[in-house]
Structure 1
């Protein structure tokens, strides 16, 4: 993931990071190289641009933090309504994210109804193949994040293992597949709680994104085709370029969907997307994808070959457009136009039937 200009947590607090002299690479500099989520910044991190961006974005963060504190007033749950939806779209402060995600997704209700369930599935006898698959991926999960290193005093690898094993036991049809480790990892970064992360995974994989991670991955394949249909209708120039060069959507956007934009977009942008994903559901993924594609329409239309198209998709997720998360999130609710769940459901039915027919 390109984190050269990632924005810190939206909690209204100002970062004290400054560029250190190359001759003074001590503990202070190492702290500066790690963002609030534990991700190490690259050697070419642009602190000048970062400070410029933050001078504008901190105003937004501070204002949102005050409004959220007034809205919640110490509540442990929130009810969905028009006002809350508007607040979520404008960003959830990091200190309230776990609460809002748990309430909005229904995960808190499931946790309350199933007290002790997480510990029971965690303590059950586990399939050795499941354990081996998960264990193999632990060190591959956010290798650039200090929170997932064994040498870290706050290492989250054990918690990550527990959440993934428990979920595999809970949903044996899905078990475990690559991509789930990044989802569980990001949930742990935000919640710092195994049980909450487990129930948020259940909300995502069981209800919000059904069949994304099943053996056939039919839900994932369907939504990739749905995106293609939306692009054909709303960004026909890009559709034409894809068709002309014979590019399959699975080749260029599968990573967007399977990891829910983790390791694709900057972390703060991903968290803003997830705020809306937990509240509004999977149509948010299409809004994000359409906005990114529409922004780069002219580049796509100029593509002369399949490699050109693939390179275009790679570069779409880099740069100020996606790094400046607040204006980006405003764009996703205006640029694609109206996009209802009814429209998505109709396209899913059509695309799913086509995929099943082709596979028969």
Structure 2
């Protein structure tokens, strides 16, 4: 019996709190070390958030809540806070029958078939998605409902990873549906429209931000010949889900549901700038692309607490007017 218990403990330790298999993760030791130091941080945050959400009702947007979001929302409060900050809770309340009617209504067979192809590709290393008995059916329902509720956008790859991670955290199909709807129509409008001009423009905008914050690094990357579409496509399409470590993605989303898409730009820029020395050492296209692919896997990306702090402290001001002006210029460039 003792031997069986040891085996069970070993297997259990290979799966993190979200169901992801870590047995083949080269950074597993770094993850364990980080979590050992991060758990006390989470405990402190939980006590602060508890006093805020215990009152019930809507969560007003103010400087205190913004600061709290930047420092991280405890997992047990994420559904409640995300739903209110995004506007999803109000939509759900005002449209109580919408989700069920979408699932019962007529379907576009092409969309349904496309979604079905992506189900087994969504987090196959996660115990909740690796079998048909897990969350695959819920994922299918959410994606079908979202796509038919937004026929002008339909379904595109990337949405499956976002919906999948939301299901792991929120654990309620209808709530995930409304969070997805708010992401596609309010927080990230046009990101998932046919042609993806907004995402293409956001990639160009990332380049302009690097040019603004570090001209030397920007020029080096331009000289090597790396196009910005090679850097951030998956970052923006998946909102870093299936790209960065789960804890890091969730910290990004805590801010995104409050502050919008600008947070994605901050994180993308910080990932590049904090690896400046390694990127400057790349003297050809291939080595630069390989380095860009590796920066999302190094321990710096794992330490979400430090990464998010750097995003807001080291990058300095991101004036909305300047970002919007640059975005419009990039949109015009993409549209030419």
* Other-structure match for 2:54: 73
* Other-structure match for 1:140: 121
* Other-structure match for 2:13: 32
Question: Contact 2:128–2:135 at 8 Å: present in 1 too?
Answer: yes
* Other-structure match for 2:291: 312
Cα displacement (A) at 1:355: 1.4
In 2, distance between residues paired with 1:190 and 1:42? Answer: 22
SS at match of 1:333: helix
SS at match of 1:26: helix
What's the TM-score, normalizing by structure 2?
A: 0.95
* Other-structure match for 2:183: 204
Cα displacement (A) at 1:55: 3.4
In 2, distance between residues paired with 1:310 and 1:61? Answer: 35
Q: Which has the higher helix share?
A: 2
Cα displacement (A) at 1:227: 0.6
Cα displacement (A) at 1:215: 1.2
In 2, distance between residues paired with 1:46 and 1:82? Answer: 36
Question: Contact 1:118–1:195 at 8 Å: present in 2 too?
Answer: yes
Question: Contact 2:59–2:85 at 8 Å: present in 1 too?
Answer: yes
Question: Contact 1:76–1:99 at 8 Å: present in 2 too?
Answer: no
In 2, distance between residues paired with 1:37 and 1:350? Answer: 40
Cα displacement (A) at 1:61: 1.0
* Other-structure match for 2:93: 112
SS at match of 1:118: helix
In 2, distance between residues paired with 1:140 and 1:173? Answer: 25
* Other-structure match for 2:192: 213
Quickly say closer, same or farther: Cα 1:244–1:323, change in 2 above 3 A: same
In 1, distance between residues paired with 2:229 and 2:280? Answer: 19
* Other-structure match for 2:104: 123
The equivalent position to 2:168 in structure 1, one of 189, 194, 218, is 189
What's the TM-score, normalizing by structure 1?
A: 0.89
SS at match of 1:147: coil
* Other-structure match for 2:68: 87
In 1, distance between residues paired with 2:238 and 2:144? Answer: 18
* Other-structure match for 2:149: 170
The equivalent position to 2:223 in structure 1, one of 244, 248, 252, is 244
Q: Could you report, residue by residue, the CA deviation over 1:238-294 in whole angstroms, capped at 9, with x for unpaired residues? A: 211221122211112211111111121100000000000001000000110111111
In 2, distance between residues paired with 1:289 and 1:68? Answer: 27
Quickly say closer, same or farther: Cα 1:119–1:93, change in 2 above 3 A: same
Question: Contact 2:217–2:280 at 8 Å: present in 1 too?
Answer: yes
* Other-structure match for 1:18: none
Question: Contact 2:70–2:254 at 8 Å: present in 1 too?
Answer: yes
For the aligned residue pairs, the C-alpha RMSD in angstroms reads 1.9
* Other-structure match for 1:53: 34
Give the gaps of 5 or more residues in structure 2.
Answer: none
Q: Give the number of equivalent residue pairs.
A: 335
